[in-house]
């Protein structure tokens, strides 16, 4: 069935609301693109993955084949935000209940293994499609009411429209404790998709396309000036690429700082960073980088231990007077619901789901962070044995 543009903003917003509802109610997401993916395909997948990850969902990107190193900076963003990138021989995590296809004109162009196609064909799998290809030689993949397929500068722009729709839903964001929906990396990925597909705006024709291009450019610049010490105005794709690559290198150095301090108990891989460590990190990295890397390290430690991963660190004084804890369960171990840890330790300032939680303890209640963490680990391991 040939793809046509969605008729009117009301119909488009209804579809976007359906996609948002899927993000909220579904749990396991597999993101797909077309064979030999370009900037827009990869960037839109990365932006959507980062967005869904904020709702504490299980999400992975399937590429099948290794892509050109030119796009590695985008995959690095996923690595340090604990979003798996899967290739042909990798085992798919499960369960997967939702497949989202990006920037692909017709299903025959999808990059998918036999196992991926089994998931697609499963009647219980929700299929969502985000694409800007319409007209001849096109065909739908997504289910009715989940096809965000319409005129746009790029698929990245359509992910950006989901972002904007979510941004005004304050009640939903509060429910999921999301304080910074439009994070730097999400907007960078959206903008990369837009300017990559439009060749830095040269192929933008309609006033609508130009307007959206201005909206996201302005959003990115405003956000960046708030989160970095230097004021930057990006005028072309090369500068955006350079900035993302710089941020990716920063995250790698921050990641190495965490991982060099990893330790293991019998059931838990963990990292403990005291105030001096945070002073060191804050002198070089912004808080957004530290938070995203801490989340990714907890996931990696969980898989290395094959049980649980724990990261704890003191917030810098200008952030809060709290100590942050992130606890993650390995996909190999599913017995314990991690929310029972909050109850067992009478922790009120925290939350999450059965496989991952975050919580915060006032610094005034912790005399020695190492001793407190050791006691916490013993208590969690007792819960595992029970």
| d(C-alpha 175, C-alpha 342), whole Å | 18
With 70 as the cut, is the pLDDT of residue 223 above it? Answer: no
Helix (H, G, I), strand (E, B) or coil at 67: coil
Q: How confident is the model at residue 291 (pLDDT cuts 50, 70, 90)?
A: confident
Q: Tens digit of pLDDT for each residue in 74-94? A: 888 888 788 999 998 888 887
Domain 9-241 class, CATH top level: alpha beta
Omega before residue 152 within 30° of 0, cis:
no
Supply the pLDDT for residue 378: 96
Nearest to 178 by CA among 165, 167, 190: 167
Local structure of residue 69 (DSSP, 8 states)? G
Domain-wise residue ranges, the chain: 9-241, 261-385
CATH 3.10.310.30 fits 261-385, yes or no: yes
Of 167-171, 193-197, 295-299, highest mean pLDDT: 167-171
Helix 237-259 to helix 72-79 angle, to the nearest 10 degrees?
40
Q: How confident is the model at residue 234 (pLDDT cuts 50, 70, 90)?
A: low
Helix (H, G, I), strand (E, B) or coil at 340: helix
Of 132-146, 205-219, 241-255, highest mean pLDDT: 132-146
Token pair of 342, please?
């909050």
Supply the pLDDT for residue 290: 87
| d(C-alpha 56, C-alpha 238), whole Å | 33
Supply the pLDDT for residue 229: 45
Which stretches of 54-138 are DSSP H helices? 72-79, 114-121
pTM above 0.85, yes or no: no
The fraction of the chain above a pLDDT of 70, given in percent, is 87
With 50 as the cut, is the pLDDT of residue 230 above it? Answer: no
Supply the pLDDT for residue 247: 63
Q: Which residue has the higher pLDDT, 238 or 289?
A: 289
Yes or no: say if 158 and 130 are a contact pair by the CB < 8 Å rule. yes
Measure CA 56 to chain center: 9
């Amino acid at each position: 069935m040939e793809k046509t543009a969605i008729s009117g903003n009301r119909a488009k917003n209804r579809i976007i609301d359906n996609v948002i509802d899927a993000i909220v109610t579904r749990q396991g997401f597999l993101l797909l693109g077309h064979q030999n993916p370009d900037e827009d395909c990869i960037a839109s997948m990365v932006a959507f993955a980062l967005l869904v990850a904020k709702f504490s969902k299980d999400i992975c990107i399937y590429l099948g084949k290794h892509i050109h190193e030119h796009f590695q900076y985008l995959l690095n963003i996923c690595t340090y935000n604990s979003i798996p990138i899967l290739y042909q021989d990798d085992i798919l995590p499960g369960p997967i209940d939702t497949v989202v296809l990006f920037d692909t004109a017709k299903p025959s162009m999808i990059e998918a293994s036999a196992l991926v196609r089994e998931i697609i064909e499963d009647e219980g799998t929700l299929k969502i499609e985000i694409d800007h290809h319409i007209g001849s030689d096109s065909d739908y993949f997504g289910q009715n009411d989940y096809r965000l397929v319409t005129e746009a500068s790029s698929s990245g722009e359509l992910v950006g429209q989901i972002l904007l729709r979510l941004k005004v839903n304050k009640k939903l964001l509060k429910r999921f404790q999301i304080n910074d929906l439009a994070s730097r990396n999400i907007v960078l990925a959206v903008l990369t998709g837009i300017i990559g597909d439009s060749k830095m705006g040269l192929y933008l024709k309609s006033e609508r396309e130009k307007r959206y291009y201005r909206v996201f450019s302005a959003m990115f610049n405003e956000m960046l000036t708030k989160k970095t010490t230097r004021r930057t105005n990006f005028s072309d794709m090369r500068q955006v690429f350079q900035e993302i690559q710089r941020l990716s290198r920063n995250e790698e150095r921050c990641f190495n700082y965490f991982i060099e301090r990893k330790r293991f108990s019998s059931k838990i891989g963990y990292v403990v960073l005291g105030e001096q460590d945070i002073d060191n990190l804050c002198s070089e990295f912004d808080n957004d980088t530290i938070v995203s890397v801490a989340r990714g390290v907890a996931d990696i430690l969980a898989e290395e231990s094959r049980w649980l991963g724990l990261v704890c660190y003191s917030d810098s004084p200008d952030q809060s007077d709290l100590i942050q804890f992130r606890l993650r369960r390995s996909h190999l171990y599913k017995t314990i619901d991690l929310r029972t840890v909050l109850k067992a330790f009478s922790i009120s300032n925290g939350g999450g789901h059965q496989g991952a939680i975050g919580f915060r303890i006032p610094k005034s209640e912790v005399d020695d962070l190492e001793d407190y963490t050791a006691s916490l680990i013993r208590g969690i391991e007792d819960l595992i044995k029970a």
